[in-house]
Structure 1
């Protein structure tokens, strides 16, 4: 082994103060920058083109620390084989089974801590050392979410939703919406960025689009986080019926109480103004159903009261049950009374006309008698 050791000594003595410029197939430039994603394999290129009569005897990869020191990662010697050092053991390897031919380095599972500057040093005989520096920037795909606030109409102007994202480098956030509001961009110490969207909530805004767009160098196009604004407001009930005429004897008559409030009702209650609900009536959710034939005394004002998490509102529907002939019972009274009144009025008019005619006849007779006596 002594001749070999002497050869190594002479070689390194020669190259100690001689850094020559050789030909690299990759990277071509002496200093390059590349990007890699966390949790993926990273390839750091280093391929030296051997000249005729030249031999690569050793390849060394180092990470250059912030203070300028070098942290030895892995080394391959043309006779002694290869060795990975310290925390890099098991995390890195040469891409080629013969590192002295192609010296590209593989980081098997890239971490944020792998970001930094790397140096590939090719030691040749007899020409000396050749180097390449690679600056590695480690990116991490953004993790993002939209966090909504609980909103009730007529609240003061304030925060309605927050879009948060964490990534390397920091993502850029924006909002895609037709809502007229204000956004504020914030950066936390942990590297998380957020955008807050504020406005005064109105019920007309419920369900409107408020999407967050996350832009990042690792994404081909902005990532869209779909979100629709949710605004709560009290019930807005209305009562309807499939029937136009409510006729006594009619079967399966019903009222329907519809509600446009948000959120969904907690309860729907039916009442009859001025008294209890008639017998033979059932309540099933939004429906008030007459389970028997309608009666004239079912007429009245029916009230639907709706309650949700925001408040309580009610509305009224008036039912007027008519007879089978098509005349409401109260209208019969009115018509009969009107007919009787008209008959009395006509009788009075006839009496007055007769008396007037009688008076005129009497005056004419007396006047004529007076003329005859003269």
Structure 2
């Protein structure tokens, strides 16, 4: 029968009935929960204080409150009374761990809120405000207290030695934080990091991170940055760390400029060492043994007070630290002493002065030579040109194109020296050509044709008259070579003097001054230059006789 009755109800109706019943039960629980009003969740920090609010709400006014208790649940399954309030018996704090740290804010059952001071991380947990009522029984509300802890952040460098294995070079830690912190690294050295956590007994968490790399001397002094992020911090905590990589020294010597000359003072060398830690000792030596007396050493600085051959050697600098030693050497070459730069101006001035003096001397010589040549060209005689008597002459060398006047040595009135008072004969001109042969030619004495106005028909022409003839004018206009030497002139003179048996030697002739003007000007000059003698001869005032 029952089965038949149940079969008559459809399945959907049964399910709907159960849903209605469940909703009624939930509503009943909500109605009871709403009677005790508390904070759902609170956050606090160690050493601080927190207020746990609790209030009983009775809308109908029919519930009678007996007492109220605060129950602490640090973990699931553990319940401890920390505070009790009874309107007749008063307050009670049965848990010793909260003694003197818990107090009621209001001495009423309707508002039994408490205050917990000097909080500890272990105070975290669930706090339940529970009422004993009549007739409904116990009513309660629960608050979750979350304890937060700011981490203690730190970062440090780990000193390592340069090598080939990956080692920890820096550490970063966020200690005793709650909740756990997050650590990141910012670096450009190409390493990696690892992180570990440790839970404390009070619920805090310590996070540690290590940075690793294969250290080299170049990594010494570089920075890596630790960054800690945690909810209790307003912004991430950032801390840079400089790496410390130790290595043996590497040494170099500086200061030598390839100009150590004898006498130079205060020449220096510097021994530079790259090492970590800093070098403990620096030692200077030479290849030949101890340092010369002129050398002074002050740490890594070597000073040569005065350069000489003793420092023409090889200097060695050795540097040591706790990881090893290293050395470097340099060979210094001493060269000859250089001139004092202060005397360079004096030397330059002396050289310039000597050059100027030489130029002045050359100019003076040139002026004198030019003046001498001008004087010769103006008619001063040369010993090479002469006039001699004779009917012919021997051939000499090539004497240039010259003309000489020869007076005939024949006549009744000739003197012993070959000059006669009656020079009425022909005029001989001697021309020397480039064919090295001299030609003695005769020209008619046409004095009577050109200068009849000077003498009478009965008088014989004098030497003065011959010089004023037309042939003499033409011969005088020819230019003489003034550059012939005295020896050449004497040779030509001897050649002419030997004509006719050598008995009639004429004295050397005069030179006629060269004329560059007209024929009239030349005649005037000849008149002024010639001087008549008592024996009827004519002598030039400017001629030179030997």
Normalising by the residue count of structure 2, what TM-score does the alignment of the two structures yield? 0.49
1:84 to 93, 106, 113: 93
Aligned 1:167-182 pairs, distance under 5 A: 167=176, 168-182=178-192
Aligned: 1:111 with 2:120: yes
Residue of structure 1 in register with 2:332 after alignment: 319
Q: Is 2:211 the counterpart of 1:211?
A: no
Summarize the Cα distance change of 1:295–1:65 in structure 2 as closer, same or farther, 3 Å threshold: closer
Is 1:248–1:321's contact at 8 Å kept on the other side of the alignment? yes
Contact 2:33–2:141 (CA under 8 A) maintained in structure 1: no
* Distance across 2 between alignment mates of 1:178 and 1:39: 41
Q: For residue 259 of structure 1, report the CA deviation from its aligned partner.
A: 1.7
Conserved in 2, the CA contact under 8 Å of 1:265 and 1:307?
yes
Shift of 1:71: 1.2
In structure 2, relative to structure 1, the CA distance for the partners of 1:162 and 1:65 (3 Å cut) is closer
1:250 aligns with 2:258: no
- Structure-1 separation of matches of 2:257 and 2:65: 98
Shift of 1:175: 1.3
Go from structure 1 to structure 2 and tell me whether the alpha carbon gap of 1:45 and 1:155 turns closer, same or farther (over 3 Å shift). Answer: farther
Unaligned stretches of 5+ residues in structure 2: 1-28, 341-546
Q: Structure 2 residue aligned with 1:163, among 168, 172, 192?
A: 172
Between stretches 305-314 and 153-162, larger displacement belongs to 153-162
Partner in structure 1 of residue 291 of structure 2: 277
Q: Which has the higher contact order (CA 8 A, sep 6+)?
A: 1
Give the RMSD, CA atoms, in angstroms: 3.4
Q: What does residue 275 of structure 2 align with? A: 261
Q: How does 1:1-374 map to 2 (within 5 A)?
A: 20-22=32-34, 27=39, 32-47=40-55, 58-64=67-73, 66=75, 68=77, 70-78=79-87, 80-87=89-96, 88-94=98-104, 96=105, 98=107, 100=109, 102-121=111-130, 130-146=139-155, 148-167=157-176, 168-188=178-198, 191-241=205-255, 245-290=259-304, 292-325=305-338
> Is the contact made by 1:235 and 1:307 (CA closer than 8 Å) also made in structure 2?
yes
Residue 362 of structure 1 corresponds to: none
Aligned-pair CA distance for 1:148: 4.0
Spell out, residue by residue over 1:151-203, the C-alpha distance to the aligned partner (whole angstroms, 9 max, x if none): 22233233333333332333222212122122223334655433232221122
Q: Offset of 1:133 from its aligned partner?
A: 0.7
Helix, strand or coil: the match of 1:260?
strand
Checking the alignment, whether the CA contact within 8 Å between 1:20 and 1:129 is kept in structure 2 is no
For normalisation by structure 1, the TM-score amounts to 0.69
Unaligned runs of 5+ in 1: 1-16, 328-374
Contact 2:36 2:57 in 1 (8 A): yes
Distance 1:65 1:26, change over 3 A: closer
Deviation of 1:132 after TM superposition, in Å, equals: 2.1
Cα distance, 1:246 vs structure 2: 2.6
In 1, the alpha carbon distance for the partners of 2:166 and 2:137 equals 71
Give the aligned length: 305
The alpha-carbon distance between structure 1 residues 242 and 320, as it changes in their structure 2 partners (threshold 3 A), is closer
Higher strand share: 1
Q: How big is the shift at 1:102?
A: 4.9
* Equivalent position SS for 2:266: coil
Q: CA deviation at 1:140?
A: 2.5
How far 1:72 sits from its partner (Å)?
Answer: 1.1
Worse-superposed segment, 63-72 or 108-117: 63-72
| Structure having the higher Rg | 2
Q: What is the distance in 1 between the residues matched to 2:69 and 2:112?
A: 9
* TM-fit CA distance, 1:241: 2.1
CA contact (8 A) 2:258 2:332 kept: no
